Amino acid sequence: MGRRRGEALEAAILEAAWDELSERGYANLTVDSVARRAGTSKPVLYRRWPDKQRLVEAAVVRRNVIQLVAPADTGSLRGDLIATLTEMNEKRGPFLAQLSMLLAGYFAETESSFAELREAVLAGRRSGRDEIMGRAIERGEIDPAKLTPRIASLPFELLRSEAMMTLRPVAPEVIEEIVDTIFLPLVR
């Protein structure tokens, strides 16, 4: 295969950086390992990003932009929730988990928190959560009086909490347990 340049090369490098990050973690990611995985060499990386941190930041940003999770529409609240949570778990789980690690130093320096960053990132965007809940109310699956903001975000909160605590993919049974024994009993 030929020698890649510009955009294609850059994409391959950031892809490799993300893979290293999610498989081996930030501490075990080396600039060399990223270069090797991308089938190139270190100087190519340093021509684009001034240091390891910026490289990883770029990889994280790219991934986040690419992997937005669209809320599922299966026809039932339970189906929507399980499908969406499962997709989040698969696509974004490792992302969120690693992110909190990466940003550790950043939070300490800026006195900000994960919640604030998330708020800024999600600003203006109508959350998939509201969409799912809205449809469920129309179908009469939810008693709107019971759907406080905290309860509406509960399944997502619990998935994130589980992912962050274990730093591993959450088992499908756990997702079902959250939906069936905690969330659904609270809203109908």
Interacting residue ranges for its own copies, rule: CB under 8 A: 25-28, 100-102, 104-105, 107-109, 111, 113-115, 118, 148, 150-151, 154, 157-158, 160-161, 164-168, 177-178, 181-182, 185-186
Residue located via tokens 């699956």 = 141
| CA angle, 107 then 157 then 186, to 5° | 155
Q: Which is nearer to its own copies, 12 or 184 (CB)?
A: 184
Other Cβ atoms less than 10 A from the Cβ of 48: the count is 13
Nearest of 144, 146, 129 to residue 186 by alpha carbon: 146
CB of 177 to its own copies, least distance (A): 6
Can you tell me which of 23, 41, 75, 122 binds DNA, judged by CB under 7 A?
Answer: 41
Determine, following the binding rule CB under 7 A, whether residue 39 of this chain makes contact with DNA.
yes
CB of 142 to its own copies, least distance (A): 15
Torsion of CA 127, 129, 84, 178, to 10 degrees: 140
Q: Which is nearer to its own copies, 11 or 122 (CB)?
A: 122
Q: Restricting to residues 47-76, which ones interact with DNA according to CB under 7 A?
A: 47, 50-52
Determine, following the binding rule CB under 7 A, whether residue 44 of this chain makes contact with DNA.
yes
Determine, following the binding rule CB under 7 A, whether residue 37 of this chain makes contact with DNA.
no
Determine, following the binding rule CB under 7 A, whether residue 4 of this chain makes contact with DNA.
yes
111: left (phi over 0), alpha (psi -120 to 50) or beta: left
2: left (phi over 0), alpha (psi -120 to 50) or beta: beta
Nearest of 186, 122, 116, 114 to residue 148 by alpha carbon: 186
Which does residue 40 touch among its own copies, DNA, none (CB within 5 to 8 A, set by kind)? DNA
Distance CA 130, CA 152 (A): 8
Which does residue 100 touch among DNA, its own copies, none (CB within 5 to 8 A, set by kind)? its own copies
Site residues, DNA (CB under 7 A): 2-6, 9, 28-32, 39-44, 46-47, 50-52
